[in-house]
Amino acid sequence: MLSYILRRILSTLPVMGIVALFVFSLLYIAPGDPAAVIAGDQASPADVERIRQSLGLDRPFLVQFSSWLWDILHGNLGTSIFTNLPVAKMIAQRIEPTFSLMAITLVLTILVAVPLGVVAAWKAGSWIDRTIMAFAVFAFSLPVFVVGYVLAYVFALQFEWLPVQGYTPLSNGVWPWFQNLILPALALGSVYIALIARITRASMLEVLQQDYVRTARAKGLDQRSILFIHALKNAAVPIVTVIGIGIALLIGGAVVTESVFAIPGLGRLTIDAILRRDYPVIQGIVLLFSFLYVLVNLMVDVTYTLVDPRIRY
């Protein structure tokens, strides 16, 4: 197992290399010019050109790419064209809000979606199943920003229970931290809850048809043990897979959610960097997310061995 994990981690290196080349090339050919954004609307074309030169953006592709790659290999993600701050520092400033949002959303999703899916499968065809699946379809159909606005309107503006926007670091206390993340996590998690609930139901339905479940019932095991200990464990592989894929969805959803709730996370940093053409920041974030995605896939593969003893690497 250990050698497998090591091999997988090593295999990320060429993946990251390809991602790096791809991202750099894409940004190089993409329209837009950070110098024009920096110079502002009143700047003359000559000013824009001077700024472009001072940023080194007039250098040939290979020169720019090799210089960037050399810095990356030395652990330097570069400096933001706009803020003049190290990209690593900018990412570090934004990692906590995004990871907090993703973690709470993930926990909330698993705590809500898996039991819902299990119950829906258990009561398949009943009004409970139909209600849960109707909710899933509804939640799946609503865009994150619409859910976000509705939640903010109801719970922040009408009831004044929760803040509309912002983020409080965990170091300022658990409740202030959690308070700012409740609505965003609900908004971001709604689609994800619907997805996992549906997958759990489908997977559980298949497992509940198996002979060993009938045997368990015949032995007189209680329903909760059958559902959550025997059946769920065997239904877990597709659920874990979708949760893994869902983390990628969360990254995408975080971009919208962070904008709606003004959370200073990586999603907003990404949007700001793209709109301004802040190439080093975009490249740094994409590399980080690519690495995380590879890591999540690895974790999913390892988790398979925990839920299914037949799987060994």
Partner 1 sequence: MDRRTLLKGFAGVGSLAATAGLSMPALSQGAAARTLRFVPQANLANFDPIWGTQYVVRNAAAMVWDTLYGVDAALQPQRQMIESEETSDDGLVWTFRLRPGLKFHDGEPVRSKDVVASLTRWSARDPMGLMLKAIQNELVAVDDRTFKWSLKAPYPKMLLALGKNSTPIAFIMPERIAQTDPFKQIPDYIGSGPMKFAKSEWVPGAKAVFEKFADYTPRQEKASWLAGGKQMLIDRIEWVVIPDPATAAAALQNGEVDWWENPITDLVPSLKKNRNINVDIADPLGNIGSFRMNHLHPPFNDVKARRAVLTALSQEDYMRALVGDDPALWKPLPGFFTPDTPLYSEAGGEILKGKRDLTVAKKLLAESGYSGQPVTCLVAQDQPITKAFGDVTADLLKQMGMNVDFIATDWGTVGSRRAQKTPPGQGGWQVFHTWHAGADCVNPAVYNAVRGTGDKAWFGWPTSEAVEKEVTAWFGAKNLDEEKAAVGRLNKAALEDVVYAPTGFFLSYTAWRKNVSGIAKGPLPFFWGVSKTA
Chain contacts with partner 1 (rule: CB under 8 A): 31-34, 36-48, 50-51, 53-54, 80, 82-85, 90, 93-94, 149, 152-153, 156-157, 160, 163-166, 172-176, 178-179, 259-262, 264, 268-269, 271-272, 275-278
Cα separation, 265 vs 103, in Å, equals: 13
Question: Which DSSP symbol is given to 89?
Answer: H
* Dihedral sign, Cα of residue 222, residue 194, residue 251, residue 28: positive
Give the shortest CB-129-to-partner 1 separation in angstroms.
Answer: 33
Q: Which of 260, 287, 284, 255 is nearest to 271 (CA)?
A: 255
- For residue 1, what are its two tokens? 């197992």
Assess contact for 298 and 5: CB atoms under 8 A: yes
Q: 43 or 299, CB closer to partner 1? A: 43
Give the shortest CB-109-to-partner 1 separation in angstroms.
Answer: 20
3-state SS class at 210: coil
> Looking up tokens 């877990």, which residue turns up?
236
Q: 89 or 224, CB closer to partner 1? A: 89
| Type of residue numbered 200 | T
Q: 239 or 281, CB closer to partner 1? A: 281
Assess contact for 255 and 270: CB atoms under 8 A: yes
Q: 151 or 231, CB closer to partner 1? A: 151
| Type of residue numbered 91 | I
Cα separation, 207 vs 153, in Å, equals: 42
Q: 198 or 277, CB closer to partner 1? A: 277
- For residue 46, what are its two tokens? 């000559």
Q: 172 or 223, CB closer to partner 1? A: 172
Give the shortest CB-90-to-partner 1 separation in angstroms.
Answer: 7
Compute φ and ψ for 7, nearest 5 degrees: -60, -40
Give the shortest CB-37-to-partner 1 separation in angstroms.
Answer: 5
3-state SS class at 47: helix
Give the shortest CB-281-to-partner 1 separation in angstroms.
Answer: 9
Give the shortest CB-175-to-partner 1 separation in angstroms.
Answer: 4
